[in-house]
Amino acid sequence: MEKQAKIFVAGHRGLVGSAICKKLQEEGYTNLVLRTSAELDLRQQDAVAAFFASEKPEYVFVAAAKVGGIIANSTYPAEFLYQNLAIQNNIIHQAYVHGVKKLLFLGSSCIYPKLCPQPIKEEYLLTGPLEPTNDAYAIAKIAGIKMCDAYRQQYGCHFISAMPTNMYGPNDNFDLQNSHVLPALIRKMHTAKVTGQPHVTIWGTGTPKREFLHSNDLAAACLHLMLHFDEPGPINIGTGEDLSIAELAQMVKEVVGFEGQLEFDTTKPDGTPRKLLDVSRIHALGWKHHIELRDGISDVYALVKPVLS
């Protein structure tokens, strides 16, 4: 991928897309093509076709998606299914039509079966039922991975897909109704600290285990894959390390400095019991994460603390 190549980062203002842009710029890639959702609605087929026809990007990172936590996925399944299918269908097809040299599509670890053997290998995809609380999102993302493989098989496109674990970072969504667990915990702990609340309530039992990757590490992995990986099927991106939600909550509590109690609402769903990715394939390609979880949470909290206050 040449330094002057025209690179389209779809979703460049989101958690992942902004980190990919930052990494590309740090590495000397200067010809980034970026559009806000107001400038280009990726759900609109004609608009995406016109964009590709006029701009003719050579490389594409598909980091645009409608995302959210358990509440959002459970409340708006139709939106998660329709909007994600529309976004990825439009981008992947137009990338083929206009001869994009290489495309990276980002899936998600939540699209693996709910009760996967651990750690989760790439070949476990579609071997069992999905987690019901986010199956609409998962089905859309599975379709995107299969679409990349189909265009590779039928047309010879260099379209690859990656499976990141749970993400966090400075441009995360900290809205309690729509956020994932880590930014929600940061928001809850901070609010409780500044308002003097005696306790923070956390959904579920606290026993599910999760793996977390900083968005800067994911961006480095995405660039590494664009340069060194060209095979069908997804490849996992993660740390290979996990911890329970209760342990995560305790870590966030310590970083934020909240001194109250943690209470678990066991009437609320836990989601998948465990999601730990097998990252041996990407390690074999020469990539490994660098940001440890406590350090990453501390950095993110320092950045967003003024905004949350």
For residue 179, say whether it is annotated as part of any ligand binding site: no
For residue 11, say whether it is annotated as part of any ligand binding site: yes
- Are 169 and 212 contacting, i.e. CB atoms less than 8 angstroms apart? no
Question: What is the DSSP-derived secondary structure letter of residue 109?
Answer: G
For residue 15, say whether it is annotated as part of any ligand binding site: yes
Phi then psi for residue 265, to 5 deg, are -90, 95
Phi then psi for residue 203, to 5 deg, are -65, 140
Active-site entry in 29, 96, 112, 137 = 137
User: 39 by DSSP, 3-state: which?
Assistant: coil
Separation CA 31–CA 47 (nearest Å) = 21
Q: Residue 283 CB: number of other CB atoms within 10 A?
A: 13
Separation CA 146–CA 126 (nearest Å) = 11
For residue 224, say whether it is annotated as part of any ligand binding site: no
For residue 199, say whether it is annotated as part of any ligand binding site: no
For residue 188, say whether it is annotated as part of any ligand binding site: yes
For residue 244, say whether it is annotated as part of any ligand binding site: no
Cα-Cα-Cα-Cα dihedral sign, residues 154, 126, 129, 248: negative
Nearest to 303, CA basis, from 261, 260, 255: 255
What is the Cα Rg of the chain in Å? Answer: 19
For residue 203, say whether it is annotated as part of any ligand binding site: yes
For residue 28, say whether it is annotated as part of any ligand binding site: no
Whether 137 is a known active-site residue: answer yes
Asked whether the bond before 119 is cis by omega within 30 degrees of 0, the reply is: yes
For residue 289, say whether it is annotated as part of any ligand binding site: no
* Close Cβ partners of 52 (under 8 Å, ≥ 6 residues apart): 94, 95, 97, 98
For residue 223, say whether it is annotated as part of any ligand binding site: no
For residue 281, say whether it is annotated as part of any ligand binding site: no
For residue 16, say whether it is annotated as part of any ligand binding site: yes
- Residues annotated within the binding site for NADP(+) are 11-17, 106-109, 141, 180
- Residues annotated within the binding site are 11-17, 106-109, 141, 180, 188, 203, 210, 270
What residues are annotated to the active site?
137
- Residues annotated within the binding site for substrate are 188, 203, 210, 270
